[in-house]
């Protein structure tokens, strides 16, 4: 009987290997992805290139201050290869503001920025930065989000190829709002059906960075999933200081968000407060102390995963 089982296992294993070996990835074979395809030229790409479900570029927003001194924004250009370039690789960059279509960004006036027409990856390196210089941001409209689109258009070495699906990027520019800062965790709690736990706090050195999205909105890492690339948008009503929480459109994989202003959910599966400041988490902002009091959730396979947190600007 043991021999029959072993033979059956061997046949199944061979079948599985054969089936996996038959999977063909045309994008990989054609070097359309930003990775090194064995036997072909390594790709050159924008690290921050990303598209939404409609195939449009998702802007990479950077906040700057409304001052008349020079500031810079940068986006990384790299080779997808195991080894660094052996000699300087010159990468032609073309301005392509057609990429802004549907983004909601206002095209930055040429008088308000400076950008090179090429990026050079030095010998012995794998990457370099395309640097956009803003000489005077004080002339920009605080209510607008600006943008520039760029396309990798040429390479000085034919031993490399432009990764066609990662050759575009949209750089977004926004004036930092009053909520844009690093925040200390004063405390909080993460409610989960099977693994509830206390949130980090300031004494442990844990912080959260909130970045500007609009004059009243900041992007924040989502509860327990922030380290995995999920983010929410905190929208502060400037009159009432009430906070509305939604998924960040710049991270489309973020799940739907529900907020609970008055109390923890009493169903699915239902929770009771587990720390002494739970009642303060009513989704509001205190401008006097620069503090966010938040309570929001997403739904997992067994019910709500609820985050309560109090964040104080450093």
Q: Domain extents for the chain?
A: 37-175, 181-313
How far apart, in whole angstroms, are the C-alpha atoms of residue 65 and residue 68?
9
Q: What is the mean pLDDT of the segment spanning 114-128?
A: 98
Which of 95, 277, 286, 290 lies closest to 181 in space, CA to CA? Answer: 290
- The region of weakest confidence among 74-78, 112-116, 223-227, 301-305 is 223-227
Q: What is the pLDDT of residue 199?
A: 79
Please check the confidence at residue 25 and state whether its pLDDT lies above 60: no
Q: What is the pLDDT of residue 205?
A: 56
Q: What is the pLDDT of residue 1?
A: 44
What band does 226 get if pLDDT is binned at 50, 70 and 90? confident
Q: What is the mean pLDDT of the segment spanning 215-227?
A: 90
- The region of weakest confidence among 99-113, 114-128, 188-202, 284-298 is 188-202
Q: What is the mean pLDDT of the segment spanning 91-109?
A: 96
- Enter the tokens of residue 73: 């924004």
Please check the confidence at residue 36 and state whether its pLDDT lies above 50: no
Q: What is the mean pLDDT of the segment spanning 123-139?
A: 98
How far apart, in whole angstroms, are the C-alpha atoms of residue 295 and residue 284?
9
The proportion of the chain whose per-residue pLDDT surpasses 90, expressed as a percent, equals 76
Tokens 């790409």 belong to: 45
Q: What is the pLDDT of residue 32?
A: 41
Contact 291, 285 (CB under 8 A): yes
Q: What is the pLDDT of residue 98?
A: 97
CATH architecture of residue range(s) 181-313: Beta Barrel (2.40)
What band does 204 get if pLDDT is binned at 50, 70 and 90? low
248-259: pLDDT as tens digits: 998 889 999 999
Please check the confidence at residue 21 and state whether its pLDDT lies above 60: no
What band does 227 get if pLDDT is binned at 50, 70 and 90? confident
What band does 31 get if pLDDT is binned at 50, 70 and 90? very low
Please check the confidence at residue 23 and state whether its pLDDT lies above 70: no
CA distance readout (Å), 161 to 27, 36, 76, 119, 185: 14, 10, 17, 15, 45
Q: What is the pTM of this model?
A: 0.74
Please tell me whether residue 152 adopts helix, strand or coil conformation. strand
Q: How many residues does the chain have?
A: 314
How far apart, in whole angstroms, are the C-alpha atoms of residue 84 and residue 121?
9
Q: What is the mean pLDDT of the segment spanning 205-223?
A: 90
133-162: pLDDT as tens digits: 999 999 999 999 999 999 999 999 999 999
> Between 16 and 30, where is the model more confident?
30
Instruction: Please state the CATH superfamily assignment of the domain spanning residues 37-175 in this structure.
Output: hypothetical protein (bacova_03559) (2.60.40.1740)
What band does 71 get if pLDDT is binned at 50, 70 and 90? very high
Q: What is the pLDDT of residue 224?
A: 81
Q: What is the pLDDT of residue 33?
A: 43
């Amino acid at each position: 009987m043991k021999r029959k089982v072993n033979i059956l296992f061997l046949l199944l294993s061979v079948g599985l290997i054969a089936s996996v070996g038959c999977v063909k990835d045309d994008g990989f074979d054609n070097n359309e992805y930003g990775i090194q395809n064995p036997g072909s030229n390594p790709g050159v790409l924008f690290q921050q290139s990303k598209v939404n479900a409609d195939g449009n570029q998702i802007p990479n927003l950077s906040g700057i201050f409304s001052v008349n001194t020079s500031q810079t924004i940068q986006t990384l250009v790299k080779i997808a290869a195991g080894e660094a370039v052996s000699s300087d690789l010159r990468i032609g960059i073309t301005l392509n503001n057609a990429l802004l279509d549907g983004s909601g960004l206002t095209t930055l006036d040429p008088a308000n920025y400076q950008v090179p027409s090429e990026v050079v990856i030095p010998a012995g390196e794998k990457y370099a930065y395309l640097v956009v210089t803003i000489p005077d941001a004080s002339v920009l409209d605080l209510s607008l989000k600006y943008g520039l689109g760029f396309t990798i258009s040429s390479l000085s070495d034919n031993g490399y190829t432009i990764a066609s699906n990662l050759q575009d990027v949209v750089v977004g520019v926004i004036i930092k709002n009053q909520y844009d800062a690093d925040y200390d965790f004063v405390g909080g709690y993460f409610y989960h059906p099977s693994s509830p736990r206390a949130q980090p706090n300031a004494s442990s050195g844990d912080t959260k960075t909130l970045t500007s999205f609009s004059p009243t909105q900041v992007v924040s890492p989502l509860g327990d999933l922030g380290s995995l690339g999920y983010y929410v948008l905190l929208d502060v009503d400037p009159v009432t200081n009430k906070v509305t929480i939604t998924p960040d459109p710049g991270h489309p994989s973020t799940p739907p968000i529900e907020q609970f202003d008055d109390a923890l959910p009493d169903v699915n599966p239902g929770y009771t407060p587990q720390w002494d400041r739970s009642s303060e988490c009513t989704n509001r902002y205190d401008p006097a102390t620069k503090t966010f009091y938040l309570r929001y959730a997403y739904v997992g396979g067994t019910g709500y995963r609820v985050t309560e947190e109090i964040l104080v600007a450093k």
